Every structure is written in C-alpha cells, then in structure tokens.
Amino acid sequence: MNAIISASDLANDLTGANLPVLLDVRWQLTAAKAAGEPPYDGRADYETGHLPGAVFVDLDRELASAPGQGGRHPLPGLAHFGAAMRRAGVSSGTPVVVYDGGQGWAAARAWWMLRWTGHPDVRVLDGGLPAWEGPLEKSVPVPAEGDFVPEPGAGLLDADAAAALARSGVLLDARAGERYRGEVEPIDPVAGHIPGAVSAPTTENVGADGRYLPAPELRERFKGLGVSEGARVGVYCGSGVSAAHEVLALAVAGIPAELYVGSWSEWSSDPDRPVAVGPDPQ
C-alpha cells in the first residue's frame, strides 16, 4: 500500500462507498516568539476551513505527551492516543487519510503513530491542504466513535538503539544541515549530532510544491546517503516530528525505517551522551 495519496485520488475516494476518515493535523514548530505574538493555533486554522468531514487532531496534546526527559514530543500513553483516535472516528477496518498545512511533518507523525500501533490503512495527503482543489467546510463534525485499539509493533528506537544503529546500519539526521554540523542550535541545549549519523535533511525529499519526489528519485537519494539494499535504517530529528516525514519518504521509496522519537531533544539533554560536530558523521 502506498503511504501517500494525491489530492485527485482522495477526491475520487470521497465519492466511493468505503469513505476514509480524514484527520487534520495542522501544526507548526513553536520557537521563541516576539513579545505579544501568540503561538500558532492549528485548531483556529482548521475552523476557518478544512476538508469536508475532517476532524482536527492536536499534535502536542494527542500525538505527544508533555516535554521532559524523553524529549520535546515524547510518545503519548497508548490509552490516551487510542481514545483520541476513537473520538476522531478511527476504526481498524476503515481507511485513514491524514493531512496538514502543507509542510507534511505533522501529518507524517500521525501516519507513523497509526502505522506503528497497527492500523493497516493510513495514507498522507501529498502536498497537504495546499494541494486540495475541492471544497472546504467550516462546520466541526462529530464522528461516530471508532473502534481502533493501538497495539505497538516494531520500528521504534530509543537512545541506546539509535547509537548502536549509527555504528551497525544507517542513522539519518533529518534536521537542517547547519544544525547537524553544530553551527546553530535554536531550540535544544547542545549543538551537533549523534556520532555516526548521516546528515539527510527531510526538506530535500520534496519538490518546490511540497510534494514528495518520485520513488525512483528518493531511492537514488537514499542510496547516495549510504542506504544499501537490506541495510537497517533509522531516522531522528529534533523531537520525532520531521523525522517521521523522512520515515514516510523512505516508505515511498520502498525502504523500511525505524524512528527515534526522543531524537536530538532527548539525546542532547543527557550530558553523558557523546556529541559530534562538523560535516563528518563521526
């Protein structure tokens, strides 16, 4: 099953018999704001217009738990996540399509969490809301309660497993190159990268329109980053959000990958963890 869906294919699916559940996960990374400037409000944007029938999902409250030792976006409790998905109408036997405002990171986090916890049919709207040419609605739907019960599977890395994978396989760093090299660090306490990790900014997996590059181009990109056939691959970023976008890009390319959810925000908070700087992985 393809991990992404085009806007035209989604429009066709919405006229069929087995309608997908639509999840709107608009979100932006909240950095320091100027005095008096409010933080981004995804729900407010959702209420100004969303895909017909779409339910808003709050990344910070439903796809993550409170920041702490596990990073800035640690996983939520399974019971909490499952309840949020059932409230949104998610059932195991119903397809799900997730979208966001176009960046793709938040939608990919929802996609990864549903896939990791066992949902068999989840796709991300390629290009997000800007790719949609159909009507929007402002009314907030109240879907029938779903029956999805999350059951976690493989594909999740902790800090020790990520460190080991950087030595035995390929660990990709999905952040911007300057953060990987340690030239800047606007959010986390220490600049640099996990020793052995390879710089692979997730922004290079998409074109100017925010849509994923074709699968053959993505395969060539990852091959150039050292991903050989059969290699074990992991991805991290700042807090397990943009890295999910790269895991999705790898899925489009036909390459399974694991996610280090704690990512750099967890790694860099531990003074006993080694840090590498510069363009060299080590």
Cα gap 147→161, rounded to integer Å: 32
Cα gap 112→91, rounded to integer Å: 16
Kind plus residue range of the DSSP H or E element containing 83: helix 78-87
181 conformational bin, left if phi > 0, alpha if psi -120 to 50, beta if neither: alpha
Q: What residues are labeled active site?
A: 237
Written as one letter, the residue type at 254 is: G
Nearest 10 degrees: Cα torsion 86, 39, 259, 273: -140
Is the Cβ–Cβ distance between 260 and 158 less than 8 Å?
A: yes
Residue 229 CB neighbour total at 10 angstroms: 7
Give the pairing type, strands 4-5 and 258-260: unpaired
| CA 137, chain centre distance (Å) | 25
Closest CA to 234 of 180, 157, 176: 157
Cα gap 261→159, rounded to integer Å: 9
Structure tokens at 115: 């896939």
